[in-house]
């Protein structure tokens, strides 16, 4: 018999929140680039524009909403995926097949995406607010008083873009969770590396790249839906209007998305593995 440590159900949310504190400025710039109606600025130009207009701290606009999002969306999908995966691993006396990891990751991500939609919406709006003229800013009491948003725009608005957020959550979870586990197993199977931080880094880089490619088109549409108040009546309307800008519009902000999502994925899994190693639940296999 062998003693192993497994992740506790809330470690994913904690790890994602810690990673978000580091990568939040990249997420903010990505949102700004995606919500441009025309491509007027690139990543560096948009960053300099935000800092010049609002100051360096503006890069952390919406951080509180981002942390709330991680503790709903990421916590839920990690909890579902890792809890079921660990139980199946003990039951089957070995790792799950890749196709089962994909299905489990998609289910966990879809569920987490729906649960986290309200906080994701607030996060997008708070990040995008700094580039609007002063008279058009929403001021974002929503982050402190969500009931005000329900009163002004209706409860249904809190779940604006929920279908896209859930679908994106499914895709990004397949890219991150399933691909991370599979790539980590393949690296360890070579026998050249052990279960250490370098292995975690390699596996998480691959997972972050996979997640970026899978979810970018949906991420663009989701961001546009959540940032709008009246211009998009439905998901299909948003898709149609975005398509008018050309095929490249669905991959607008791909580079900053990769620059943000890959480091966020790497940090999340490094933090998660360290939490599991030092504070995980001890099980006997």
Residues in the chain where the model's pLDDT stays below 70: 1-3, 34-41, 126-155, 226-231, 233, 253, 285
pLDDT at 159: 79
Would 86 be classed as within a structural domain? yes
pLDDT at 133: 54
Q: Is the dihedral of CA 228, 234, 239, 240 positive or negative?
A: negative
Residue-level length of the chain: 285
6: left (phi over 0), alpha (psi -120 to 50) or beta: beta
pLDDT at 262: 94
Would 262 be classed as within a structural domain? yes
Q: Which stretches of 35-97 are DSSP H helices?
A: 43-54, 63-69, 75-92
Would 284 be classed as within a structural domain? no
Would 188 be classed as within a structural domain? yes
pLDDT at 35: 65
Give the span between the Cα atoms of 285 and 23, in whole angstroms: 37
Would 252 be classed as within a structural domain? yes
The count of structural domains within the chain is 1
Containing structural domain, residue 13 = 3-278
pLDDT at 142: 42
Hey, which residues does 282 pair with through a beta bridge?
Answer: 5
Please list, in sequence order, all residues whose beta carbon lies within 8 angstroms of the beta carbon of residue 241, skipping any fewer than 6 positions away: 224, 231, 232
Give the span between the Cα atoms of 70 and 80, in whole angstroms: 14
Hey, which residues does 136 pair with through a beta bridge?
Answer: none
Hey, which residues does 106 pair with through a beta bridge?
Answer: none
pLDDT at 258: 85
Q: Give the residue from 244, 56, 52, 262 showing the smallest Cα distance to 41.
A: 52
pLDDT at 145: 45
pLDDT at 141: 44
The 10 Å Cβ neighbour count of residue 74 is 27
Would 283 be classed as within a structural domain? no
Q: Give me the CATH number covering residue 77.
A: 1.50.40.10
pLDDT at 129: 59
pLDDT at 80: 97
CA distances from 45 to 48, 61, 123 (A): 5, 18, 22
User: What is the value of pTM for the model shown?
Assistant: 0.81
Q: How many CA atoms are closer than 13 Å to the CA of 22, on its beta-carbon side?
A: 15
Would 225 be classed as within a structural domain? yes
Contact (Cβ atoms closer than 8 angstroms) between residue 223 and residue 124: yes
Contact (Cβ atoms closer than 8 angstroms) between residue 83 and residue 75: no
Contact (Cβ atoms closer than 8 angstroms) between residue 127 and residue 61: yes
CA distances from 83 to 8, 62, 77, 79 (A): 8, 30, 10, 6
Contact (Cβ atoms closer than 8 angstroms) between residue 279 and residue 8: yes
Would 285 be classed as within a structural domain? no
């Amino acid at each position: 018999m062998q003693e192993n440590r497994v992740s506790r159900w809330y470690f994913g949310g904690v790890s994602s929140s810690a990673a978000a504190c580091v990568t939040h400025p990249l997420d903010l710039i990505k949102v700004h680039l995606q919500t441009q109606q025309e491509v007027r600025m690139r990543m560096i130009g948009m960053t300099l524009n935000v800092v010049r207009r609002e100051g360096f701290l503006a890069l952390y606009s919406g951080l509180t909403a981002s942390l709330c999002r991680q503790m709903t969306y990421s916590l839920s999908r990690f909890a579902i995926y890792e809890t079921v995966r660990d139980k199946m691993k003990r039951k089957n006396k070995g790792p799950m097949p890749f196709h089962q990891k994909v299905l489990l990751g998609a289910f966990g991500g879809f569920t987490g995406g729906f649960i986290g939609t309200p906080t994701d919406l607030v996060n997008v709006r708070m990040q995008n607010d700094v580039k609007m003229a002063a008279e058009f800013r929403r001021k974002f009491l929503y982050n402190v008083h969500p009931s005000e948003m329900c009163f002004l725009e209706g409860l249904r608005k809190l779940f604006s873009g929920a279908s896209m957020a859930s679908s994106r959550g499914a895709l990004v979870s397949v890219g991150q969770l399933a691909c991370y586990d599979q790539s980590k197993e393949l690296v360890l199977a070579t026998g050249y590396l052990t279960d250490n931080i370098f292995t975690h880094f390699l596996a998480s880089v691959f997972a972050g790249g996979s997640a970026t490619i899978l979810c970018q088109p949906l991420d663009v549409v989701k961001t546009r839906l959540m940032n709008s108040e009246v211009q998009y009546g439905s998901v299909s309307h948003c898709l149609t209007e975005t398509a008018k800008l050309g095929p490249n519009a669905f991959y607008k902000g791909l580079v900053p998305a990769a620059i943000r999502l890959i480091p966020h994925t790497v940090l999340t899994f490094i933090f998660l593995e360290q939490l599991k190693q030092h504070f995980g639940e001890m099980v006997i296999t």
